[in-house]
A and B are shown apart, each in its own frame.
Chain A
Amino acid sequence: MFDIAHILDVLIESYPLFMKGLWITLKLTVVSILIGTGIGLVFALFKISGIKILNWIANIYIALIRGTPLIVQIFIFYFGLAELGISAFWSAAFGLAMHNGAYIAEIFRGSIQSVDKGQMEAGRSLGMPYGLTMRRIILPQAFKRALPPLGNQFIIGLKDSSLASFIALSELFSIATTQGSRTFDEMTYLIIVGLYYLILVLLFTLLVNMLEKKLSAGE
């Protein structure tokens, strides 16, 4: 079953096809994480704003996302947005972004609240407005603390992007399943795609570690 020579053969042979899928997976991951980080930041600020209506909006959003399976969300986005003429790629990207956003919001909220409240008071006492103090004083410190859990969420986001294969997006996982069923050699292709994800995650981890080191300079 585990014929290494065979797996290597297929790996080399299928390489161009997987590269196409890899490219889509990477695009999907990066786009959805960037948008998700933006969404997360906004909802984190809603949650700590102390304004009831904003609290509510953030809580409902997070409850909906956390309370339903990602695959359901992706299908809802896919069928909903297809009506508006939006492509499968962007439906998946928005779906994943909204999903990541809810978790990232909780990460940011925690890290913002972990910054000593004296930092905000010091900024305010110097005449700095709330928004400016948040942007210049609190968020840079919060972001540094958010980085480890954020990196973790990014890795989850990368792997979750495989669910986009269900809406006919030919990213990594979808290539593995189509090739597998075409050749009746599913196991080989699954092992190969697993390797691709593993390498991506390792590279990602390395990147986050580097960023963490760079940001922790001076402390």
Chain B
Amino acid sequence: MKREMIRIENLKKSFGDLEVLKEVNLNVNESDVVVLIGASGSGKSTLLRCINFLEIKNGGKIVIEGEEVDPKSHNLNEVRQKVGMVFQHFNLFAHKTVLENVMEAPVMVKNEDKKEAEKDARILLDKVGLSDKADVYPAKLSGGQKQRVAIARALAMKPDIMLFDEPTSALDPELVGEVLATMKELAQEGMTMVVVTHEMGFAKEVADEVVYMHDGQIWERGTPSELFNNPKEDRTKDFLSSIL
């Protein structure tokens, strides 16, 4: 039995009168890759952002690695160190070089020795295939390169879980592949991943579980072959036929 990394119970989130998440339940085990799919506005990004507390839930429970996290009493900065996040729009620190982007949090948050952090950062940049871009500023990179740096930056904190919020949605089509390849490699190394994406090819190939969200709820979930080949719910069928 694999270790449970994330457990979400009856999670609720509203923005004003708008109920974005209605009693969502989800669990993610160690080394699993869970892909969240669904139309925009279905709550999948909000769910992801609740997991590392960029959005604060209105109700329910979030358990990270066996420990229930209460945003009021917990040090969220410590929780976030265990949960890396990659954003749709990369959000690289514009005034810092690629290398500085990757080193920033280990040095400033974990007080790592600068030399040590630089060594680790260079290894990570090598891993995402960008060791030659270490001293370049983000503005000089392509979208795909930016996203790979963002992945390296998140990995630099040695997280146990990685969240991806539509990591390829802002990319030109020809740049999507390189980012997905990096993510696939990460999955093969055993990283626990929750991925919001519209890349169904990636979901089919890499996911252990695919979760279809609709109207702030988990409508249907299953293995990729179950969900893509034999969806049970009409909504799921409609959604899949609209995008495939």
Contacts and interface: CB of A to CB of B under 8 A. Distances in A.
- Determine the interface band of chain A, counting residues with CB < 8 A from chain B: 20 to 34
Contacts, number: 72
Nearest to A132: B108
Contact of B105 (A116, A121, A127, A219): A127
Given A144-B95, A218-B137, A128 B77 contact: yes
A127 B93 contact: no
A163 interface: no
Interface string B85-123: 101011111110100000011001100000000000000
Most central of A128, A132, A144 by chain B CB within 10 Å: A128
A127 B111 CA distance: 12
Given A132-B109, A218-B137, A219-B137, A126 B157 contact: yes
Interface residues of B, number: 28
A119 B91 contact: yes
Which among B77, B92, B137, B139 has the highest number of chain A CB atoms within 10 Å? B77
A113 to B, nearest CB: 16
B214 interface: no
Which of A118, A119, A136, A218 is most buried by chain B, counting CB atoms within 10 A of its CB? Answer: A218
A127 B89 contact: no
B197 interface: no
A136 B54 contact: no
A119 B93 contact: yes
Contact of B94 (A125, A126, A141): A141
A128 B77 CA distance: 6
